[in-house]
Amino acid sequence: MRVLSWILLAAVGAAGFGTASAQEQTVKVGIARSTSNAAELMALKRGYFKEAGIKLEWDDIDTTANVIALLAQNQYNIVAGGISAGIFNALEKNLPITMLSDRVSTPIGHNLMLRPDLKDTVKSFKDLKGKVIASNGQGSVSTYEVGKMLEREGLTIADVDLKIFPFTQMGLAFRNKAIDAAIIIPPFVWQLEEQGLAVPFGNVDALVQPQPMTIAVIMANSDWVKANPELVQKYMTAWLRGAREYCQAYHGGANRQEVIDELVSSKTEPRKELLEKYPWPARSPNGRINTASMLDINAWYVTNKMSAQKFPAERVVNSSFIDEANKKLGPFQLQNKDSKLQGCRD
């Protein structure tokens, strides 16, 4: 786990949002680094958090699977990342965790990528039996995605040799032939293909049901939520404004270059040309979780003995704050009416 780069903090300070006033309240967040971070970046740059009286303390995390305990202990108030098995395991123990909103949903651009020298011998998912496949966490949503694709051709996650690597190390693992395949998210999908380290093999958007698939969420310590409802509401409203900025840029809106610049300057994706060339992961501009997808993920973890209990949606999701944020902001209005892209729509 590493603190977000000083480049981002300096940029925020330069914009006038780096120094907290006496009235500002601190919110501690852990965020898995991805293109979708532009929601927080834009909420910072545009001053939405500042306007709400919030100082954001942001740490980068590799996967939510590794920080659920920190969220339960309120060392993080909010964690933004994938729907890991650890969330459901924590709920089974009655630990104080709840999901507040969608963060990433179909189309997401995830891909099961293959080492280039194997592309002539690995033609189907059946050919992956016994192969070394990398995921960013044993009980991560990425592992769910691999398992769901394997099951299309009669295999299970137990039929492959699953290895755990941070996304940032998967390129090196491919180069050293330590892995045969890996489940990759943007911007790493684009980077590895551009560098010739891996080739696309399994398109998650096309192969995993149910759709739209919600794979990442904003989750919070529920004790903190109960003790600070006004602060949580302010945070979620400011954050949703940033998420809508992302969706406008996703569809080629007037702010697209501004969002790209933020992703580059924060080093989320330092190569501007990739952000201009490849499609970004989508999300709900209303922040609403597709509970059918979330419950399927929960059920898959139970089937594969990564979790022990299935939960009803109301036990997992608290949608009241995102509902109130939508009432305050009104319906999402797409600026670029000519966009044909799926996702990031009402």
What percentage of the chain has pLDDT greater than the value 90? 84
Q: Please tell me the predicted confidence (pLDDT) of residue 12.
A: 43
Q: Please tell me the predicted confidence (pLDDT) of residue 141.
A: 92
Q: Please tell me the predicted confidence (pLDDT) of residue 65.
A: 76
The answer to whether 188 touches 275, Cβ cutoff 8 Å, is no
- Sequence-separated (6 or more) residues with CB below 8 Å from residue 227: none
Q: Cα dihedral sign for 110, 115, 117, 118?
A: negative
Residue 317 carries which DSSP code? B
Q: Residue 27 burial by CB count (10 A; 0-12/13-18/19+): exposed, middle or buried?
A: buried
- Sequence-separated (6 or more) residues with CB below 8 Å from residue 247: 282, 283, 285, 332, 334, 344, 345
Q: Residue 242 burial by CB count (10 A; 0-12/13-18/19+): exposed, middle or buried?
A: buried
Determine the average pLDDT of the residues in 267-272: 90
Determine the average pLDDT of the residues in 138-149: 94
Q: What is the DSSP string of 55-99?
A: EEEEEEES-GGGTHHHHHTTSSSEEEEE--HHHHHHHHTT-SEEE
Of 72, 71, 25, 46, nearest in space to 238 by CA: 46
Report the C-alpha gap between 196 and 116 in whole angstroms. Answer: 8
Of 109, 106, 122, 344, nearest in space to 203 by CA: 109
pLDDT tens track for 191-227? 999 999 999 999 999 999 999 999 999 999 999 999 9
For residue 337, pLDDT over 70 is answered with: yes
For residue 5, pLDDT over 80 is answered with: no
Report the C-alpha gap between 145 and 135 in whole angstroms. Answer: 10
Q: Please tell me the predicted confidence (pLDDT) of residue 301.
A: 97
Q: Please tell me the predicted confidence (pLDDT) of residue 13.
A: 42
Site of tokens 């709400």: 52
Q: Please tell me the predicted confidence (pLDDT) of residue 169.
A: 96
Q: Please tell me the predicted confidence (pLDDT) of residue 8.
A: 42
pLDDT tens track for 279-335? 899 999 999 999 999 999 999 999 999 999 999 999 999 999 999 999 999 999 999
Q: Cα dihedral sign for 236, 238, 243, 247?
A: positive
Q: Please tell me the predicted confidence (pLDDT) of residue 75.
A: 97
Q: Which residue has the higher pLDDT, 113 or 64?
A: 113
Q: Please tell me the predicted confidence (pLDDT) of residue 18.
A: 41
Q: Please tell me the predicted confidence (pLDDT) of residue 237.
A: 98
Residue type, 3: V
Give the pLDDT band of residue 346 (cuts 50, 70, 90). Answer: confident
- Identify the structural domains of the chain with CATH numbers, from first to last: 2-106+212-329 (3.40.190.10), 111-207 (3.40.190.10)
- Sequence-separated (6 or more) residues with CB below 8 Å from residue 80: 29, 30, 31, 32, 40, 103, 216, 217, 218, 219
The 10 Å Cβ neighbour count of residue 17 is 21
Six-digit token string for 64: 């939510």
Report the C-alpha gap between 313 and 315 in whole angstroms. Answer: 5
Mean pLDDT of the residues in the chain: 92
SS3 124: coil
Q: Please tell me the predicted confidence (pLDDT) of residue 132.
A: 98
Six-digit token string for 193: 């293909």
- Regarding pTM above 0.85, the answer is yes
Determine the average pLDDT of the residues in 126-145: 95
For residue 340, pLDDT over 50 is answered with: yes
Six-digit token string for 302: 């139970």
For residue 104, pLDDT over 60 is answered with: yes
pLDDT tens track for 12-46? 443 444 444 458 999 999 998 889 999 999 999 99
